[in-house]
Amino acid sequence: MIQHARTFVALLLVMLLTQPSQAADNLQLVEQQIKAGLLYNFLKYTQWPPDRAPKDGEAIKVCLFGGDPFEGRLQPMAGRTVNEHVIEIRVVSTIADIDNCALLFVRADQKSNWPELQKALAGKSVLTVSDFSGFTMAGGMIEFTRVSNRIGVAINTERITAANLQVEDRLLRLASAARPATSDR
């Protein structure tokens, strides 16, 4: 199974299942808040190729495909800036609308539409994120996972590279801090 390394798929799973922590001073957040915060960090630590990055003064677009599953927790991100770009959040429901998205979040119930979305995304530099299980195995870039009472991510670095995106080591290192998962392909 070690050979799978050669497929460039380093599927990294964060499993911060450290010892049961002292709940008292541990930070407690609603699941959607953690995911929203992580999405902001994905924007922060990802570099888009110069020709695809938003121009100076342009907004960076976060698109939610199929609706907003964040129960209002993501909306406060709109209007904030990341790397000097204002963040704009849009709910999109058709493939035609995903063109100018920097980050595309695919709502879990849109799993069946993913293969078609993926086709439409070919050749584009869009960071794809979802929380449906198996997303990275199906060619997605970042998948939220839930391990016990913590949120983790699985990252498909092959896809990120293929889309001409660069995710900073800080995020990847955090992911690799846990056990690297093997792909069963």
User: Residues in the site for another protein, rule: CB under 8 A?
Assistant: 14, 16, 21, 23, 26-31, 33-34, 36-38, 40-41, 45, 66-68, 71-73, 75-78, 80, 89, 91, 93-95, 112-113, 115-116, 146, 149-152, 170-171, 174
Smallest distance, another protein to C-beta of residue 79, A: 9
- Nearer to another protein by Cβ, of 9 and 87: the residue is 87
Buried b / exposed e across 23-44, counting CB within 10 Å, b at 16+?
A: eeeeeeeebbbbbbebbbebbe
* Measured distance CA(89)–CA(112) in Å, rounded: 23
Smallest distance, another protein to C-beta of residue 118, A: 12
- Nearer to another protein by Cβ, of 33 and 183: the residue is 33
Smallest distance, another protein to C-beta of residue 124, A: 18
Smallest distance, another protein to C-beta of residue 6, A: 28
- Nearer to another protein by Cβ, of 38 and 53: the residue is 38
- Residue 60 φ/ψ, nearest 5 degrees: -100, 130
* Whether 79 contacts 105, CB under 8 Å: no
Smallest distance, another protein to C-beta of residue 51, A: 27
- Nearer to another protein by Cβ, of 5 and 119: the residue is 119
Q: Which residues of 131-179 form beta strands (DSSP E)?
A: 142-147, 150-156, 166-167
* Measured distance CA(151)–CA(63) in Å, rounded: 21
- Nearer to another protein by Cβ, of 55 and 185: the residue is 185
- Nearer to another protein by Cβ, of 139 and 152: the residue is 152
How many other CB atoms are found less than 10 A from the CB of residue 76? 13
Smallest distance, another protein to C-beta of residue 113, A: 5
Which of 103, 7, 9, 120 has the alpha carbon at shortest distance from 47?
A: 103
* Whether 134 contacts 114, CB under 8 Å: no
